[in-house]
Structure 1
Amino acid sequence: MFKKILASVGIGAAKVDTVLETEHLQPGQKFNAHIIINGGDVEQEISGLDLALMTRVKVSADEGDYFTNHIIDKWRVTDIGTIAAGQQKQIPFEARLHSETPITEINAGYNQSHVWLETGLDIDLALDPTDRDHLHVYPNDAVSTFMQAMDKLGFGLVKADVEKGFLRAPTFQSHSGCYQELEYKPTARSLFGLQEIELSFVPEAHKTHVLIEIDRAFRSDGYVDLTIEHDHVNLSQLCDQLERLFS
């Protein structure tokens, strides 16, 4: 009886660790992992286990901006059952990274983009132990080529962050509840009077949408959007297309 009471208040609770086959991924890529549960000092019944793909988002409010954690995607593992004191269970797990997962591996002067996988046990009447695994998320070919085009056109990436909200354009919209903004500035005096360009990418399975915010001197901000088909990624053509948009 005393051991059951200890378990109910979270003393001697089971611990969980998710071991990824690789932490280096691209948005939309499948990943594999093993969830390792180590029993505590007493036997416990585990009703389920949650894995969440997380990021840090900036929220704009009347009292000022602040940052908070945001769930991009979530998975539920059930039928785990009872784990004895000191017992170890390993559960294989496979999922796909959300296509709108922010990119973390970018060469920005100020990079506030972070992504991690968080794991928690749902033990009835117990405190939830958690495990956090940071991910290295790389751009897909379309996004990488777009960033190369910006470099070739004389723009440097100065800041990257993730904001809470949804993107909407005439031909697409985002779904994850957050979006990444890449802020570019001209590395030299811009011929087109451009002061700043902000990019947000919304990848899908076979194409990537781009929302472009253009800040020109003495003019209000303007928005344009384009779509890159993944089987038609061409750096030279993209540079030509962007030059026309920026002129």
Structure 2
Amino acid sequence: MFKKLMAKFGVGAATVDLRLDQPAYRLGETVTGHIHIEGGNVEQRITELSVLLMMNARVKGQIVTRQVHSVQVAHSFKVLPKPYTVDIPVSFELPQGLAISSPSIQYGLQTKLDVEMALDPTDMDRVEVLPPEPVERVLNALNRLDLRQKPDSGGLTPYGQEFSFFTGQSLGIPLRELDVVFFSTPGEMRLLLELDLTVPGMLMGRQKEYKAELIVPQELLAAEKEEELSRFLLEKLREYAENPQAIPYVSMASYGQMHGGRSGMGGMIGGMAAGLLGGMLLGELMSDAGELAFGESGEESGGDEGGDDFDFGGFDDL
């Protein structure tokens, strides 16, 4: 009787451990593994065994935590006293539209054993979310140009996940910084760019920002084409940098209108979320981040630049 009472409070209760087949998966891939359960001091009835995909996002110094997916693995079974063990397979597809793992975005899988009338044993395991291969090839192509990602690159903005670069060795063009948001539709990939260019003839190396849309030819996104892709991107960046007045200007708000949304942040979400890297739950996350991070215009305000390790909740010990 005493053992049953203690098990209700988690002492001598069953334990659960998720064991993934690999530590990282691409968007759209199937996550696979098994859940190892060991019996405690007494028999326990299990109502449900589930796995929750949790995302932690740093948005201008604020931490937003959200469940982005859940999987019911099993329900209504018993776990016998030790030395009883059981391994239950688990598999699920990683949802499209998630932001990929970055210094500002982290993921964990919380395994939960729902024990009838008792404290529920849980387990938390870090998992890395990798980009789709075409996105990875563009990132690699930019890296070949010695465009290096900033420490806080890969953070969420009202318009999706944004990757920020600074120039390493000189490219022979007056490009200081580059921000990229990925948006894909069937058959094409669009890069929404913000170029920080040095304006010639101005004192103190004055800089000016330009926005542009760049459509990447599908054939350049194939495997073994990264060198050609790098050349294409360099040519476009040089074209924009040397003749900024000819850049086909695209505002983020108007882009939402062009693709079926309304103006402003809500339009971007409504019109672009389906093909936007980081678009899943974007509106909810931005709302939770509050006006300290983003005003109504969608422009970033001041605050902590982020880039530090996360320090919260069940992710602390991962």
Could you tell me which amino acid in structure 2 is paired with residue 23 of structure 1?
Answer: P
TM-superposed CA distance for 1:215, in Å, is: 3.0
Of the three residues 87, 92, 97, the one matched with 1:90 is: 87
Q: Can you list the C-alpha shifts for 1:97-120, whole angstroms capped at 9, x where unaligned?
A: 22345444x8xxxx4443332212
User: Deviation digits for residues 130-187 of structure 1, max 9, x if unmatched?
Assistant: 22222344444312321232133341223355545663xxxxxxxxxxx543221011
TM-score between the two structures when normalised by the length of structure 2: 0.59
1:77 maps to 2:112 = no
What amino acid is aligned across from residue 70 of structure 1 in structure 2? R
Q: 1:153 pairs with 139, 145, 151, which one?
A: 145
Count of residue correspondences: 227
- TM-score norm. by structure 1 comes to 0.73
CA, structure 1 residues 203+91, in 2 after alignment: closer, same or farther (shift >3 Å)?
farther
Q: CA deviation at 1:40?
A: 1.6
1:12 aligns to 2:20 (yes or no):
no
Q: Identify the structure with the greater strand proportion.
A: 1
Structure 1: runs of 5 or more not aligned: 168-178
| Structure-2 separation of matches of 1:58 and 1:94 | 28
Task: Classify the secondary structure of the residue corresponding to 1:114.
Answer: strand
Whole-Å separation in 2 of the counterparts to 1:207 and 1:96: 23
In structure 2, the CA distance between the partners of 1:149 and 1:133, relative to structure 1 (3 Å rule), is same
Shift of residue 41, structure 1, vs aligned partner: 1.6
Displacement of 1:35: 1.1
Q: How many angstroms does 1:205 deviate by?
A: 8.6
Distance 1:134 1:77, change over 3 A: same
Structure number, greater radius of gyration: 2
Query: Counterpart in 1 of 2:194?
Result: 213
Percentage of identical aligned residues: 26
Three-state SS of the structure 2 residue aligned to 1:147 is helix
Aligned CA-pair RMSD: 3.3
Matched, 1:193 2:190: no
Residue deviations 1:3-51 (CA, integer Å, cap 9, x gap): 4433333332221111112224322211321111112222222111221
SS in 1 for 2:148: strand
Q: Which residue of 1 aligns with 2:235?
A: 243
1 CA distance for matches of 2:191 and 2:46?
43
Quote the Cα distance in structure 1 between the aligned partners of 2:17 and 2:31: 16
Change (3 A) 1:200 1:132: farther
How many angstroms apart in 2 are the aligned matches of 1:128 and 1:223? Answer: 51
Distance 1:11 1:28 in 2: 39
Q: Hey, what's the Cα distance between the residues in 1 that align with 2:186 and 2:91?
A: 18
User: Residues of 2 paired with 1:211 and 1:119: CA distance?
Assistant: 37
Q: Tell me which amino acid in the other structure corresponds to 1:159.
A: P
- The residue type paired with residue 194 of structure 1 is L
Q: For structure 2, list consecutive stretches of 5 or more residues without a partner in the other structure.
A: 199-206, 242-318
